[in-house]
Amino acid sequence: MKKLALVGAVVVLAIAAWFASGWYGGAQVDEETAFIVPNGASLTSVAGKLEEEGLIGSASSFLLRAKILGSGDPIKAGEFLLPAGASNAAILDTFQHGEVIRRFVTIPEGMPSVLVHDALMAEDLLTGEIPVPVEGSVLPDTYDFERGETRVAVLARMQRAMDEALAELWPNRSADTVVSSPAEAVVLASIVEKETGVPEERRMVAGLYSNRVSKGIMLQADPTIIYPITRGRPLGRRIRQSEIQAINDYNTYSMVGLPRGPITNPGRASIEAVLNPAETDAVYMVADGSGGHEFNSTLAGHNEAVQRWFALRRQRGEM
């Protein structure tokens, strides 16, 4: 009897070991593999999908072992990365406690909404349609997303980020700002964003345009001529005289004050610059050939700077 009992115990241990090895031993994940758990999927349907994709040997075996040896925690929806040689136990733990694969889309500072739309529509891993967002409603930044996420959801995060940034920055504005609302701040910041690519100049450019607004001088910002023509896409040619003289709600060569709305999506730094502009007497600026600008408070000084710029361009063969 003792011998039979011993044999029985050995058999039981052998079965238990076999059962456990089927759970904790390597599965059939030959190489690192991305696997999607659909929204609302049950463990049963996921097991079937794993078997169909050849990542486990048997869905029924996986489910039985999961019930006895696995955690009872719910599985999460999303895309997961299964490492090569992952066991059945590791697969379940990944779905229950692992990190969903995140992908990223970057909206650079000064990207107009038509190009934000293009960027989101070009992301093949996103789903659904979106309209072109309202200009100035998106905060430029890098945003993460999951495979299969809707473009509407990603765009909503971008727009919520802009709302949150304005809510944070507006109360800290200086008394020197000329804008009277967060909406006006975005409008003026969009011009600052398009007028300089030098981060250190933003507050100075904001100060210059603030002076022009305060003094009732036309802003005369070239990007405001182009915006109503292209809605932010590159013009691809020189601005025509008729376009400089065009009367519309954006062209600051034919109107005093701010345009009717933003001409791009300004970044946080440009909004901060408008809300805290540099103290300056400057009302003129012209390119200095280094990527930045020379600023002047008098027309005579500005005209001299323009001549220096023209001379440099002739030297470069640009004129």
Q: What is the pLDDT along the chain (319 residues), one digit of tens a residue?
A: 555 555 555 555 555 554 555 566 656 788 888 898 988 899 999 999 999 899 988 898 889 988 888 888 999 888 898 988 888 888 999 999 998 888 999 999 999 999 999 999 999 999 999 999 999 999 999 999 988 889 999 999 999 999 999 999 999 999 999 999 999 999 999 999 999 989 999 999 999 999 999 999 999 999 999 999 999 999 999 999 999 999 999 999 999 999 999 999 999 999 999 999 999 999 999 888 888 898 999 999 998 898 998 888 888 877 6
Confidence (pLDDT) at 29: 81
Query: Which residue shows structure tokens 């960027």?
Result: 119
Closest CA to 22 of 32, 30, 14: 14
Give the Cα separation of 124 and 105 in Å (integer). Answer: 11
| Residue in the structure block whose two tokens are 């694969």 | 101
What is the maximum span of the chain, computed from C-alpha positions, in angstroms? 115
Tell me how far the alpha carbon of residue 177 is from its chain's centroid.
Answer: 28
In DSSP terms, 143 is beta-bridged to 105
Exposed e or buried b per residue across 218-227, where buried means at least 16 C-beta atoms within 10 angstroms of its C-beta: ebebbbbbbb
Burial of 114 (0-12, 13-18, 19+ CB in 10 A): middle
Distance CA 35, CA 50 (A): 8
β-partners of residue 82 are 33
Please list, residue by residue across 78-95, b when 16 or more beta carbons sit within 10 angstroms of its beta carbon and e when fewer do.
Answer: bbbebeeebbbbbbbebb
Whole-structure pTM value: 0.81
The interaxial angle of helices 43-52 and 59-69, nearest 10 deg, is 140
Which residue's structure tokens are 């280094």? 290
Residues whose CB falls within 8 Å of the CB of residue 195, separated by 6 or more in sequence, listed in order: 205, 221, 222, 223
